[in-house]
Amino acid sequence: MQNQQWQLKTRPQGLIGEEHFERVVSDVPGLEDGGVLVKNLYLSFDPTQRGWVNDTESYMPPVAIGEVMRAGTVGQVVSSKNERFKVGDLVQGLGGWQEYFISDQGTGLSSVPEGVTPQEALGIFGTTGLTAYFGLLDLSDPKPGDTVLISGAAGATGSVAGQIAKLKGARVIGIAGGPEKCRWLTETAGFDAAIDYKNESVPDGIARLCPNRINVFFDNVGGGILEAALDHLAMNARVILCGGISGYNETEPMPGPKNIMNLVITRSRMEGFIVIDYMNRVGEFLTEMLPWYRSGQIVHLEDVQEGFDEIPNTLQRLFSGKNLGKQLLKLAEPES
Amino acid sequence: MQNQQWQLKTRPQGLIGEEHFERVVSDVPGLEDGGVLVKNLYLSFDPTQRGWVNDTESYMPPVAIGEVMRAGTVGQVVSSKNERFKVGDLVQGLGGWQEYFISDQGTGLSSVPEGVTPQEALGIFGTTGLTAYFGLLDLSDPKPGDTVLISGAAGATGSVAGQIAKLKGARVIGIAGGPEKCRWLTETAGFDAAIDYKNESVPDGIARLCPNRINVFFDNVGGGILEAALDHLAMNARVILCGGISGYNETEPMPGPKNIMNLVITRSRMEGFIVIDYMNRVGEFLTEMLPWYRSGQIVHLEDVQEGFDEIPNTLQRLFSGKNLGKQLLKLAEPES
């Protein structure tokens, strides 16, 4: 049996694209004792993948040149010498940009819970939902009447974080690019208002829509949007640094916010987190998220591309702002 | 009786100096019921005063043009129509740059505790000590074995914060300007090591002296020093924003740190505070600080200038880095 992979060929300087990857075909090796052969069905695309291909120290080692590109995946077990996994099981892990992969001893694999689709496992019930839930609730405590501002609000994580803040009683303002995304935020996701950064000055929008200033800022973007938010902090505000997508494809480090001293004047806190620290709290998360999502109190949009050829282009969609909601790519449907 | 004042004449752009103040002589008005007339003995000089003369929103209203310059003071009651204060009492408050002032109803005045000198009341037992104590211990929790980095370490607040961290068992590294200050830090104040930013690259010094990275950074300086510290954060580090003196006299906002995303990778927190929020916890502070200081476990250096004429120049000493320890100015000795 043959396997196709997208391997990292060169490290991008600037925007990442297909030219940084090489398509490689190889034979799938035989299974050793304890091994599990998985066929990838869905791939997850996340802004943090851009950082994984930089040759710099981070929260995970860089993807090596010649290594298959790392990605979150849901797949189906096609062959198993491991008693924890049987053929047909849906499993999730970091299967990467390839059709098949082998997990020695089942390491890094976990079963997709009964009744959860592959798309949900990678999105609302996966790292996306976990990131939104623990980022918002562990690093802040949004209360009724608080104003919560979300950047990258029409992205997978931002849209969920905003809806959780609404469920906690806060007034929620989103920042997103373009009228379609902003309309989705207010009409479907229940945000109180949205700032279209492509058609409005973000500082003006914040001033207009946050007259009592910002109690919580959940930031996926960084750069000028972070600086604008720091100019409108309420007392004892919480700035949650989830990501900084505006800088991920820059060849030079972007200038930092000039107004960090606003954290002093307003006695505010800016804090970063990484979702992998919360993997042992998935149960706690699902206890709240499953009923919220199943009852329709939280909506989650998926943007599903298709086909092995389209993998590198699909990553690029995140950085050009093309995706509305969680970016996925389907390689195959599960077989029953 | 006549009073001399230094009033704010124009708002400084850049470095503050005598040219921004006007010396004004006026008669001291008579006391109304409840009033207290105080003769200023010692003035406190603090970097935050630079912010008070900017015409921008902050944690206190700006000093108005034509108003006496705001400053912390210790003085002696020379006349009183208030039963809480009697002639001869030592009192502290925001008496400003003047020889005499009247507090209506005794508002904003508090008695200097028995056995505490005016210098101590403005320094180690005043806002300096409070800032160091609550900034360090309320915003972080330095533990034995932790590495604590302090910028502006030979200043009043930094030197005390570092010594408190030592008492909590941490390894403490200070950043200060010049060999004299660095020697004082290691030989007298008990710091484990010091980085002389005038004679060594701060990033190199941090890398050399913090091989296990920084668990707590207590920052009085901002700018390039904050950026260098953010490049060496340990996991779950705490960045305490006490001040940013490097930017206080800049005419344009300084660029922010380019590496804020390090807060994400290391799951770290950067937080600001203002000492006035802790005024109701002075008792708690003195319970620890009095024995530390009286037993010599904490040392506190005072840099005392003299004379009404020298007031504006003395403020400038803070920004040229001339002071070693707490900057004070003596106007008169208390009369017994």
pLDDT at B314: 97
Asked if residues A51 and A16 have their Cβ atoms less than 8 Å apart, the reply is: no
pLDDT at A323: 85
Most A CBs within 10 Å, among B258, B260, B273, to test the A interface: B260
pLDDT at B115: 87
- ipTM of the complex in this document: 0.92
pLDDT at B59: 87
- For residue range B39-53, what is the model confidence (pLDDT) as tens digits? 999 999 999 999 999
Buried b (16+ CB within 10 A) or exposed e, B242-264: bbbbbbbbeeeebebbbbbbbbb
Helices (H), chain A: 48-52, 118-122, 127-139, 156-167, 179-187, 202-209, 223-230, 262-265, 282-294, 311-320
Asked if residues A52 and A130 have their Cβ atoms less than 8 Å apart, the reply is: no
Facing residues of B37 across strands?
B79, B102
- For residue range A81-105, what is the model confidence (pLDDT) as tens digits? 999 999 999 999 999 999 999 999 9
Chain A segment 241-260 residues within 8 A of B by beta carbon are 241-244, 247, 253-260
pLDDT at B246: 83
Residue in A with minimal Cα distance to B260: A256
CA distance A320 to chain B (A): 21
Residue B181 or residue B250, greater confidence:
B181
Per-residue pLDDT at B57 exceeds 80? no
CATH of A2-121+300-330, one of 3.90.180.10, 1.20.1300.10, 1.10.540.10, 3.40.50.2000: 3.90.180.10
Sign of CA dihedral B243, B244, B246, B248: negative
Tokens standing for B107?
Answer: 């508002």
Kind of pairing, strands B36-45 and B326-330? antiparallel
Question: Residue type at A227?
Answer: E
pLDDT at B61: 93
pLDDT at B174: 98
Asked if residues A135 and A110 have their Cβ atoms less than 8 Å apart, the reply is: no
pLDDT band at B176 (very low <50, low <70, confident <90, very high): very high
pLDDT at B256: 92
Most B CBs within 10 Å, among A56, A217, A241, to test the B interface: A241
* Backbone region of residue A192 per phi and psi (left: phi > 0; alpha: psi in -120 to 50; beta: other values): alpha
Matching CATH topology for A2-121+300-330 and A127-277?
A: no
Q: What is the pTM for the complete model shown?
A: 0.92
Determine the average pLDDT of the residues in B118-123. 95
Question: Residue type at A325?
Answer: G
Quote the mean pLDDT of chain B.
95
Mapped onto helix, strand or coil, the DSSP state of residue B278 is helix
pLDDT at A115: 87
Tokens standing for A60?
Answer: 């995970």
d(CA B79, CA B88): 9
Question: Is A267 within 8 Å of chain B by CB?
Answer: yes
pLDDT at B218: 98
Short-list A72, A24, A87, A241, CA closest to B270: A241
Per-residue pLDDT at B91 exceeds 90? yes
Are B272 and A254 within 8 A, CB to CB? no
Each residue's pLDDT, cut to its tens digit, for chain A (336 residues) gives 899 999 999 999 989 999 999 999 999 999 999 999 999 999 999 999 999 999 987 889 999 999 999 999 999 999 999 999 999 999 999 999 999 999 999 999 999 988 899 999 999 999 999 999 999 999 999 999 999 999 999 999 999 999 999 999 999 999 999 999 999 999 999 999 999 999 999 999 999 999 999 999 999 999 999 999 999 999 999 999 998 888 887 888 888 999 999 999 999 999 999 999 999 999 999 999 999 999 999 999 999 999 999 999 999 999 988 888 899 999 999 998
d(CA A266, CA B57): 11
- The domain ranges of chain A are 2-121+300-330, 127-277
Mapped onto helix, strand or coil, the DSSP state of residue A57 is coil
From residue B256, alpha-carbon distances to A50, A113, A195, A240 in Å are: 23, 45, 25, 18
High-pLDDT (> 70) share of chain B, %: 100
pLDDT band at B58 (very low <50, low <70, confident <90, very high): confident
Question: Residue type at A311?
Answer: I
Asked if residues A242 and A150 have their Cβ atoms less than 8 Å apart, the reply is: no
Per-residue pLDDT at B321 exceeds 90? no
Residue in B with minimal Cα distance to A226: B260
pLDDT at B284: 95
CATH of domain B2-120+301-330: 3.90.180.10
Per-residue pLDDT at B109 exceeds 90? yes
Per-residue pLDDT at B250 exceeds 90? no
pLDDT at A253: 83
pLDDT band at B245 (very low <50, low <70, confident <90, very high): confident
Helix, strand, coil abundance in chain B, percent, nearest 5: 30, 25, 40
Q: The domain B127-277 belongs to what CATH superfamily?
A: NAD(P)-binding Rossmann-like Domain (3.40.50.720)
pLDDT at B325: 84
